[in-house]
Structure 1
């Protein structure tokens, strides 16, 4: 094809047809420019398609991650309901029973539970590596960043505060009175026993009774924050589903 155009151009030059040659040269330039523009447009379309495919891939992975996070956090909040109940149950048992039995051993083991949330971040890490601008929806992009950069870390701080409280206050006082053994058959893997002598002491120990209230308080604070994160996850899941369906 190039040889063909060269042949025409050379023929015009040889025939001294300058005007026609200039028109032809201009036309050739226009054709080249059009070809370049078409090639650039095709390249742009390919880039846009690749970006859209990448966005869809990231959103799908985020959706999988968030679904797993939601299930885990809902389980944690459910465990926290048990912890709140256990704090009251232990107090009532001590108040109304002169002798320890298996009922108190079961609920005491619940007081040692400190659920902790470990979010799945593979989708968000992929988004960060590719650049957050991959998400074309500004509102959705902002909501994703808020969840991973603010809600999750904020909730983590609540959990860490509860863990410190447990290590400094709950665990020492529980171990002061109760003997703990690992038992795989127990729901929380703890087998707690207390002697009659220690049980008599615990019934009049104001520090232990205050500890029960403090455990419930710390747990309720984490639970309240966890419920807020659950709402954020559910909202973001709905937004991602809507974006993928459009």
Structure 2
């Protein structure tokens, strides 16, 4: 093709057709420029497709991570609900001078269940190494960052500093119960444990134990509300990611 155009150009020069040669030369330059622009456009399109594929992959991984986090929060919500309810039952039993019955052993264990957020940070950490700007939707990107860097972090701070310390609880309970075990495991997963007091009657006048249970029940209710609010925000983000994936796949 190049030889063909070169032949035409040389023929025009030999025939002294300068004006036509100039017009031809300009046309040839325009064709070259158009060719370059088309090549650049194709290259940009290919690069954009690569970025979209990478974004879709990242969003799917983030979505799966958030779904797993939701399951973890469900476990924590159940534990906090039990802790609040069991604490209230224990305090009512002790205050009313009610006799001991076997079902109380479940409440003694559930009242002090500890919760810990086990979040799937891998997809988010991977996104940070690739660049957070990979998520093209500004609003969605901000929600994802806020969830990991603010919401999850706040939850962990609450777990470490808001509750009565694990060590204090264990030190108190080891003197009062046959075993310190707030939950148990079976082939079905996590199940309720039992804690039988050494002296049930003594607990009715044990102000330190009652204060610990009352404090933990109150903290559990507050923490439960915060955990449920995070779960609701997670549900919204998962839905937003799903909508974004549909838009990117079109």
Q: Out of 99-108 and 80-89, give the one that drifted further.
A: 99-108
- Partner residue, 1:76: 76
- Partner residue, 1:243: 244
Q: CA deviation at 1:238?
A: 2.0
**Preserved CA contact (<8 Å) 1:93 1:104:** no
**Preserved CA contact (<8 Å) 1:55 1:135:** yes
- Partner residue, 1:180: 179
Question: Can you list the C-alpha shifts for 1:84-110, whole angstroms capped at 9, x where unaligned?
Answer: 111122223334567655323222222
**Preserved CA contact (<8 Å) 1:9 1:21:** yes
* Residue 200 (1) aligns with residue 201 (2): yes
Question: Can you list the C-alpha shifts for 1:157-183, whole angstroms capped at 9, x where unaligned?
Answer: 1111245x2324322111121121777
Q: Which runs of 5+ in 1 are unaligned?
A: none
- Partner residue, 2:31: 31
* Residue 216 (1) aligns with residue 244 (2): no
Q: CA deviation at 1:219?
A: 1.5
Q: Which runs of 5+ in 2 are unaligned?
A: none
**Preserved CA contact (<8 Å) 1:112 1:171:** no
Q: Aligned ranges for residues 102-141 of structure 1 at < 5 Å? A: 102-141=102-141
* Residue 230 (1) aligns with residue 231 (2): yes
- Partner residue, 1:5: 5
Which secondary structure does the structure 1 equivalent of 2:103 belong to? helix
Query: Residue 184 and residue 59 in structure 1: after superposition, are their counterparts in 2 closer, same or farther (change >3 A)?
Result: closer
1-side partners of 2:213 and 2:205: how far apart? Answer: 13
- Partner residue, 2:143: 143
Task: Compute the RMSD of aligned alpha carbons.
Answer: 2.4
Query: Residue 184 and residue 60 in structure 1: after superposition, are their counterparts in 2 closer, same or farther (change >3 A)?
Result: closer
**Preserved CA contact (<8 Å) 1:87 1:212:** yes
* Residue 46 (1) aligns with residue 46 (2): yes
Q: Out of 108-117 and 87-96, give the one that drifted further.
A: 87-96
**Preserved CA contact (<8 Å) 1:170 1:215:** no
Query: Residue 85 and residue 98 in structure 1: after superposition, are their counterparts in 2 closer, same or farther (change >3 A)?
Result: closer
1-side partners of 2:10 and 2:169: how far apart? Answer: 96
2-side partners of 1:31 and 1:45: how far apart? Answer: 21
Q: CA deviation at 1:244?
A: 2.4
Query: Residue 224 and residue 105 in structure 1: after superposition, are their counterparts in 2 closer, same or farther (change >3 A)?
Result: same
